[in-house]
Amino acid sequence: MSRKFFAKPDSSQSDRVPPGQYLAKGFPVLTYGETPQINTEDWQLRVWGLAGSKTAEGGERLTFTWSDFMNLPQQNFTADFHCVTRWSKLDVQWTGIKVTDFLETITLNPKTTHVLQHCYGGYTTNLPLEDFARPENFFAHTLNGESLPAEHGGPMRLVVPHLYAWKSAKWINGIEFLDHDRPGFWERNGYHQRGEPWAQERYAGR
Ligand SMILES: Nc1nc2c(c(=O)[nH]1)N[C@H]1C(S)=C(S)[C@@H](COP(=O)(O)O)O[C@H]1N2
Ligand SMILES: [Mo]
């Protein structure tokens, strides 16, 4: 590990760095495969499975556009970010939409227990509904006051601060609501189903 990019946390920060993690300088990019280039006019988020959405007319709608998301309440978030490959970054500054505010616009079947996040490029990652519907989770379109760069998941990504960052889907374009768990990309490839950093839930069966 290079000294230039990683530092031992000082004592004021060390209680915020989970076991086995180092503080990254800068904000590393971690992507499996190509970086999709999606502009905001083309960006869409589909919702399917055990959910529909309430429109003003009370009908069902399953596709959200960029302006639909811009019309939801916008908030700033400060969140720590922990990659299972052992780098962490504290106090990342984002702007976006709370998952709980988004969920208020859709009708969930009470049988829903899990969600699967889908992305441009084909990446997927799963979450129990209670890990998805937490008040500190958000859809992010802005990083440090600038439009979210494509390499960090722009135009829109999810951020789930309390789990390892592979659960924070970049280029998100779909949420599938399920009545059972279905592993996503890394979860099918040996990663833990839940990925809680304080418990070092890194890999399945370890
Ligand atoms: N669509 C997609 N989302 C993804 C990934 C990916 O490869 N594709 N990598 C995940 C992993 S392992 C991490 S650590 C974070 C990295 O986010 P960053 O590149 O903005 O640091 O995104 C997560 N979300
Ligand atoms: Mo990661």
83 pocket-lining for ligand 1 (C-beta < 6 Å): yes
What does the pLDDT look like over 24-67, one tens digit per residue? 999 999 999 999 999 999 999 999 998 776 655 555 658 999 99
CA separation for the pair 98, 72 (Å, rounded): 9
122 pocket-lining for ligand 1 (C-beta < 6 Å): no
In a domain, 125, yes or no: yes
Prediction pTM value: 0.93
Contact residues for 189 (Cβ-Cβ < 8 A; gap 6+):
none
Number of structural domains (the chain) is 1
150 pocket-lining for ligand 1 (C-beta < 6 Å): no
What does the pLDDT look like over 112-145, one tens digit per residue? 999 999 999 999 999 999 999 999 999 999 999 9
| Three-state DSSP state, 16 | coil
How does residue 89 score in pLDDT terms, banded at 50, 70 and 90? very high
**Domain holding 112: CATH number?**
3.90.420.10
* Number of neighbours of residue 72 by Cβ within 10 angstroms: 16
The whole-chain average pLDDT of the chain stands at 92
How does residue 12 score in pLDDT terms, banded at 50, 70 and 90? confident
Q: Which domain holds residue 123?
A: 49-187
CA separation for the pair 105, 52 (Å, rounded): 9
Contact 177, 121 (CB under 8 A): no
